[in-house]
Amino acid sequence: MRYTFSKKDKLTKKEHFDALYISTGGVKSFPFSLRYVQMELDEAEVSRQVAIVAPKRGLKHAVDRNKLKRQMRELYRLHKDKIMDSGVQEIWSLRYLGNRLNDYAFLEKGYLNLIEVYNEQRKKELDSKGSE
């Protein structure tokens, strides 16, 4: 596995964003929330596309939002291998829920917990689809 966050991994299509915000699939683990939808992507070799969101409501200064988004991209990039590969293409929206900057160790702990919760929920969803 290559530990990169390439242009192909970035979610850019408006239709995909719209689909994310009507979807019901998601998990939360402070300080992050994750929404995901199974969707056919244009890029065949990519298993998921990700949108990184740091709302202005929580972090007023653009410098802080940009720093946080860099850290979130880094977390995703380094821990890509821990995410369960469900065999289908997905789109993700990774959103920061906090209202202040935190140190990287705290963010990493929260992100790893979020991935654990996601993997458990995804296994349950795939098992229920398989048993139908």
Nearest residue to 73 via CA among 45, 90, 57, 96:
96
Distance of alpha carbon 79 from alpha carbon 85, whole angstroms: 13
Give the CA dihedral 101, 35, 6, 8, nearest 10 degrees: -150
Please report which confidence band the pLDDT of residue 41 belongs to, taking 50, 70 and 90 as the band edges. confident
For residue 42, pLDDT over 90 is answered with no
The confidence score (pLDDT) of residue 86 equals 80
For the chain, give every domain's residue range: 7-131
Please report which confidence band the pLDDT of residue 132 belongs to, taking 50, 70 and 90 as the band edges. low
Per-residue model confidence as pLDDT tens digits over 97-124: 999 999 999 999 999 999 999 999 999 9
The set of residues, in sequence order, having a beta carbon less than 8 Å from that of 24 and lying 6+ positions away, is none
Distance of alpha carbon 55 from alpha carbon 98, whole angstroms: 9
The confidence score (pLDDT) of residue 126 equals 82
Contact present, 109 and 74 (Cβ < 8 Å): no
The confidence score (pLDDT) of residue 17 equals 92
Please report which confidence band the pLDDT of residue 53 belongs to, taking 50, 70 and 90 as the band edges. very high
The confidence score (pLDDT) of residue 1 equals 66
CATH class, 7-131 region: alpha beta
In terms of Cβ atoms closer than 10 Å to its own Cβ (0-12, 13-18, 19+), residue 98 is middle
For residue 131, pLDDT over 80 is answered with no
